[in-house]
Amino acid sequence: QTLRPSALIQGWRSGASVVMSIYIPVQGSEESVEVHVDSLPENIDDLSDILQAEMAPLDLWLRFAVEYYNQGKAEHFESLLRPLIELYSTPPNNPRDYENMLYEQFGAQDEIKVQFVAVVNALASCHVALASRARDSKRRAVEFERAKKYFETAQQIDLLNSGTLVGEAVLLLQQGKLESASSKLESASAYCRGSNKLAAPVLLGRACAKFQAGSYSEAQSLYREVFMTNPSPPPAVRLGLAYSAAKLGNVSLARKALERTLALQPDSVEALAGLALLDENEQRVPEALERLTAAYKLEPCHPSVLLQLSSHFFLRGEYDKATALAKRGYAAAEQSASDGLKAEACYSMGRVFHAKSDFSSALQWYMQATKLAPSLLPPYYGLGQMHLVNNDERAALDCFEKVLASSPDNVDALKLAGMLYTRIKPRRDELATQRLTRATELAPLDVVAWLELAKVHESASSLSVALKAYEKAAALLKRAQKLVPVELWNNLGVLRQRLGKLDSAEAAYSAAARLCGGEGASQLAEMQRVTVGYNTARLWEQQGRLEQATAKYVELLQEHPNYVDCFLRLGACEQAVGRPSGALAWLKKGLEVDPVNADLWCALGRVHMEQRDWMRADACFKAVLEKCEGCRKDSYAMLSLANIQLELSAREKHSSRQENALLDKATELYRAVLLQEPNNVFAANGLGVVCAKKGRFAEARSIFTSVRDASVEGADMALANLGQLHALQREPLAAVGLYQKAQRRAKGAPPASLLALEARAHFDAGSLPEARRVLSRALRQRPTDLTTVYNLCVVLHRGAKPARNETGPRPLPTVQRAQADVSLAAQLLRSIEEAAEPHRVAAAAAGLSSARTESLGSKVQKLAAALEEEAALATRRAAEQAEQQREADERIAAIAAEKRQREEEAEEARRAEEERVAALIRENKARLEAKQTKWREEEAQAAEAAARAKDRKRKRLAGPNGEGGSDSDSEDGAPAPAPPEEEEAPANDDDLFGSDASDAEPEAPTGEAEGGPPAAAPGGRLKKASDAGEGGEGGAEGG
């Protein structure tokens, strides 16, 4: 819905003073003349004469004019007020006191000026309304200009009149000048702050401006302030609140506001139209149609009602009614001068023509809608679809991106934009992925979005992600109990097959095959059946079930003899089982069906190259360049021809001049490929090989290094060639490292050719065991490759021969191992002679002639005979060495026995001595224990004797009367000191461990010697010699 702010403000003013009669006071009396508003005079001059005669106040003139305006008589409104404007423009009779005739006649008081400003503003507002209804842009501009002049007149009288500011803001809003209108309204708001004078109209104008500017939240707040200022505004004010709430998604509040408007004003067409729109959005179609019908009856030319009715009949498929109503809506919108409504009318017309498949007309209407209202999104969506019909994908993408700029979560626009990013040139897969991923996030149940996302990931080689998207789409269809189409099952099978999930791929192909039609099916179903059958055969071929695949290809050819891809696959199957003749036959049959098929010629050339039939291969690839349409500069054919020239220069015996000519031709072809495809790593690699063959090793190394660094695809090949370059420069160890690095980069088992190169590098480096190991590994991969068998024989022959740095005879085990290797080499050479004819032919083409085999065979036989003699000599040497070893062993055994005997005797003597010492220790210990017992007894007896003597002494000192004291006591009466306690004498070391004099009698206690201390009493402590102190010498002499 389009909000018309001028209508709301006029509704506010007219609704504020609804009267039935107007009274004109009679000048000079208290009487008045009553004029009924329903019977206003048609002749405006009569009323004007009465008002002038009675000198009626200016606000009374305005009241009569507003009543004329409310009755739809705008001419009477202006005619009634024009005399006042003329008076204002007329010079006064008394210019000294008055500015103009109006002030001279009515007075120059402030009240008169305020009333006149209201008259001028009313005239300006009338012209604004007339401008909004004008169809002609020139007429609209004239009316706007008149309104502007009236507002300027009002400002001359009162610069800060809020009514003038609000009116000017309405004028600016009608002209689409939102910023200027907002500025005017802010000024009016500042002037009215703190008072209720025109506060509600100012707020209402600001709310309208905010709504038109898209600030719906602020507009809603201002509408709420209107109700706070005046709780009972005109019903139309609630429309603005409803529109703002609807824009903010508050449908409940919008409905309540519209219902309240309708309750207050049952004939409100805008309220009925708004409620109908809400009902339609909630799928309450009968209620919506009922409201629209009521609105249509009230106002048949209301543009919003007409457009909603047009949309209703469009959805019902009644395109004629929809067209008629849309045209009437456009005409009504033109009358209301609303570009938004005209744009909606154009969009409705475009939709109708779109549904009728009249795309050119639809395109015109959609474009007209976007021009009238650039912010209206639905026309852009329809316009984008029309551009798609016209294959203008870039313009369509621009339209959808405009929709997404304003509505980023529009799922339909996201899907179409994502799809178009993959179609434009250059492709924008990243943006396509972003758009489609967002679409799946917003609509996770949208199958189309998942399918488009899967296609984008598939084109970007993100196979695992694409597979997940396809599986998600299939799961959604199953959950909805819908049939999963054949195309989806087929795509699932292809992606699973490419990712190595062969069993699940076969299940998908089986499901697709069950859905394909049988006999009598449509052409599309038959095409689907053939495609699924071919993909199934390709799966069987990848699984190694070549017989089943071959049978399926033959079956498809019987039904469709011109299916060239089957001839190609049959040739590949025959080649895989080692039947190149069968492959050639199938490919030639395919060429009979399509003689200019480049794929068949290339496949035929590849078979001849594998058979080393260079001339026929050369003819096949030349046929691609000469016969096949659009292939005169086919890169693959030119690259293959260059490789053939390279092989011819290496395989055939040519003079140096002829060899250089072939290399120059190869160089020319490689350069031609690089001119077309500068990033072709195979052509660059070929140039490097040519440089290496010409001895330009530095250039070759630079080329191979560039290829290795620039491309993952050509890195393995470049590493192998760098290895061969090192091998040519006699750097076998560096070559081995590069070969092994190339093998680690290879997916799955490394190629046998790469293993052969590594084995040759080991051979050149003298690492024969490593060479043998690598060749054995290559032979397990290609058991029928006679060249590898021959090379293994060479390694075995070389390993069986004595090394050049060996001067002496070899030991027997080494000779025996050499004999075993020679025997194995002889067996392998016989297997070469007994091999099937195709394998011998292939070996001969690779350079393995029978003469070379026979030469190696004779060498092997000679070496075997020499090894027999060497083995006999080694056996005799081994016997002699064994006898010598036996004698030496016997001598060593005798010496060892004698040594053991001496050691045993020494051990017996040591044990006897230990027993003797232990017995002596036990004896001495027993003697010591006896002495200690005796000493303890003597000490106990001495202690008892000392105690008895002490008792006697104490009794003697006490006297017969028990009195203590004696002359011998000290003067202070201190008791005599107690005798010192006896200490236990330590045992003598000699007594502990024995001595030579242990059996002699013990010495008597040392007597009193000259100059020495007296001997100890029997109860005293026994002292060692060390305890005697310095008197020991005297003691010794005395002894």
Residues 360 and 504 in one domain: no
User: For 769-821, how does the pLDDT look when each residue is reduced to its tens digit (9 = 90+)?
Assistant: 888 888 888 888 888 888 888 888 888 888 888 877 766 788 888 888 888 88
**And the tokens for 169?**
């803001």
d(CA 788, CA 796): 12
Q: Is 924 exposed, middle or buried (0-12, 13-18, 19+ CB in 10 A)?
A: middle
Q: Are residues 23 and 155 in the same domain?
A: yes
Yes or no: say if 608 and 580 are a contact pair by the CB < 8 Å rule. no
> How confident is the model over 998-1008, as a mean pLDDT?
40
- When pLDDT is averaged across residues 486-491 and rounded to a whole number, the result is 91
Answer yes or no: do 512 and 394 share one domain: no
Per-residue pLDDT band at 325 (split at 50, 70, 90): confident
pLDDT for the residue numbered 508 = 92
What residues contact 707, with CB distance under 8 A and at least 6 apart? 681, 684, 685, 688, 714, 715, 717, 718
For residues 309 and 401, state if they share a domain: no
Q: Is residue 878 part of a domain?
A: yes
Tokens describing residue 156: 């001359």
Q: What is the pLDDT of residue 1002?
A: 40
Environment class of residue 641 by beta-carbon count within 10 Å: exposed (0-12), middle (13-18) or buried (19+)? buried
The mean pLDDT of 744-752, rounded to a whole number, is: 73
Window from 43-52, 307-316, 360-369, 905-914 with minimum mean pLDDT: 43-52
CA 420 to chain centre: 22
User: Do 34 and 83 reside in the same domain of the chain?
Assistant: yes
SS3 437: helix
List pLDDT tens digits, range 932-985. Answer: 998 988 999 999 999 999 888 888 887 655 444 444 444 444 444 444 444 444
Question: Nearest-CA neighbor of 736 among 699, 708, 763, 717?
Answer: 763
CB 456 within 8 A of CB 432: yes
Whole domain around residue 398: which residue ranges? 376-439
Q: Which of 850, 876, 898 is the last residue of a domain?
A: 898
**Structure-derived torsion over alpha carbons of residues 170, 174, 175, 181, reported in degrees to the nearest 10:** 30
By the 10 Å C-beta count (0-12 exposed, 13-18 middle, 19+ buried), 226 is classed as buried
CA proximity to 376, closest of 354, 399, 352, 353 = 399
Q: What is the mean pLDDT of residues 156-160?
A: 76
Residues 601 and 644: their CA atoms lie apart, in Å, by 15
* Burial (Cβ within 10 Å: 0-12, 13-18, ≥19) of residue 698: exposed
pLDDT tops 70 at residue 902: yes
Residue 1025 CB coordination number (10 Å): 9
Residue 695 gets which letter from DSSP? T
Q: What is the C-alpha radius of gyration for the chain, rounded to an integer number of angstroms?
A: 61
For 474, phi then psi, to 5°, come to -65, -40
Same domain? For 811 and 858 the reply is: yes
Give dist(CA 556, CA 533) in Å, integer: 8
Instruction: Provide the β-strand partners of residue 36.
Output: 21
> For the chain, what is the mean pLDDT?
80
Amino acid at 990: D
Assigned token pair, 297? 């009856």
Whether residue 516 lies inside any domain: the answer is yes
Q: What mean pLDDT do residues 244-251 have?
A: 87
Query: How far, rounded to the nearest angstrom, does the alpha carbon of residue 883 sit from its chain's CA centroid?
Result: 79
CA dist 997 to 739, 910, 993, 1002, 1003, Å?
A: 94, 27, 12, 9, 11
pTM check: above 0.85: no
Quickly state the pLDDT bin for 835 (edges 50, 70, 90): confident
Q: What is the pLDDT of residue 137?
A: 67
Q: Are residues 41 and 104 in the same domain?
A: yes
Q: What residues are paired with 23 via a beta bridge?
A: 34
Q: Indicate whether 620 pLDDT > 80.
A: yes
Token pair for residue 118? 């209201």
Between vectors from CA 224 to CA 222 and to CA 229, what angle results, nearest 5°? 90
- Number of Cβ atoms within 10 Å of the Cβ of 88: 17
Q: At 738, which amino acid appears?
A: L
Of 370, 388, 408, the position where a domain reaches its end is 370
Question: Is-contact 345 326, C-beta < 8 A?
Answer: yes
Q: What is the pLDDT of residues 593-616, one digit of tens each?
A: 999 899 999 999 999 988 888 889
Rounded average pLDDT over 47-62: 78
The verdict on 354 and 432 lying in the same domain is no
In this structure, are residues 318 and 311 in contact, taking their beta carbons and an 8 Å threshold? no
Nearest Cα to Cα of residue 68 among 92, 37, 35 = 37
559 within domain boundaries? no
Specify whether the backbone of 847 is left (phi greater than 0), alpha (psi in -120 to 50) or beta.
Answer: left
- The answer to whether residue 185 sits within a structural domain is no
Instruction: Kindly report the CATH number assigned to the domain that includes residue 323.
Output: 1.25.40.10
pLDDT of 1026 above 50: no
Amino acid at 932: Q
Same domain, 29 and 153: yes
Residue where one domain finishes, among candidates 350, 370, 390: 370
Supply 986's token pair.
Answer: 């330590």
Q: Alpha-carbon distance 174 to 891, whole Å?
A: 131
Residue 91: pLDDT band (50, 70, 90) is confident
Coil, strand or helix: which one is 35? strand
* DSSP string over 118-136: HHHHHHHHHHHHHHHH-SS
- Residue 797 placed within a domain: yes
Q: Whole-angstrom distance between the N-terminal and C-terminal Cα of the chain?
A: 148
- For residues 365 and 422, state if they share a domain: no
Q: What secondary structure does DSSP assign to 360-421, as a single string?
A: HHHHHHHHHHHHH-TT-HHHHHHHHHHHHHTT-HHHHHHHHHHHHHH-TT-HHHHHHHHHHH
Confidence grade of residue 8 (pLDDT, cut at 50, 70, 90): very low
Average pLDDT, stretch 859-869? 86
- Is 189 within 8 Å of 172 (Cβ atoms)? no
- Residue 651, pLDDT score: 66
Residue 386 pLDDT class (50, 70, 90 cuts): very high
541 and 433 share a domain? no
Query: Is the pLDDT score of 712 beyond 70?
Result: no
625 exposure class (CB count in 10 Å sphere: 0-12, 13-18, 19+): middle
pLDDT of res. 199: 65
Tokens for 644, please give them.
């053939």
Highest mean pLDDT among 294-303, 368-377, 469-478, 577-586: 469-478
The answer, yes or no, to whether the previous bond of 1013 is cis (omega within 30 of 0) is no
Report the alpha-carbon distance of residue 892 to residue 889 in Å, rounded.
5
Q: What is the predicted pLDDT for the residue at 589? A: 92
Three-class SS string for 926-961? HHHHHHHHHHHHHHHHHHHHHHHHHHHHHHHHHCCC
Confidence of residue 311 (pLDDT cuts 50, 70, 90): confident
764: Cβ contacts below 8 Å, ≥ 6 apart: 727, 730, 732
CA 61 from chain centre, in angstroms, equals 75
Provide the CB-side half-sphere exposure for 283 (13 A, CA). Answer: 0
* Residue-level pLDDT at 519: 55
In a domain, 294, yes or no: no
Looking at residue 588, its pLDDT comes to: 92
CB crowding 8-45: b at 16 or more within 10 Å, else e: bbbbbbeeeeeeeebebeeeeeeeeeebebeebeeebe
The three-class DSSP label of residue 544 is: coil
- Indicate whether 569 belongs to any domain: no
Q: What is the pLDDT of residue 539?
A: 92
Contacts of 763-772 spanning 24+ positions with Cβ under 8 A:
763/794, 763/795, 763/798, 764/727, 764/730, 764/732, 765/732, 765/733, 765/736, 768/795, 768/798, 768/799, 769/799, 771/795, 772/796, 772/799
Structural domain contains residue 260: no
DSSP letter for each residue of 612-635: T-HHHHHHHHHHHHHHSTT-TT-H
pLDDT confidence bin for 1010, thresholds 50/70/90: very low
Token match 């009193």: residue? 1008
29 and 152 both lie in a single domain: yes
Number of domains composing the chain: 5
Q: How many whole angstroms separate alpha carbon 357 and alpha carbon 990? A: 138
DSSP H or E stretch at residue 448: helix 447-459
Residue 349 near residue 327 (C-beta atoms within 8 A): yes
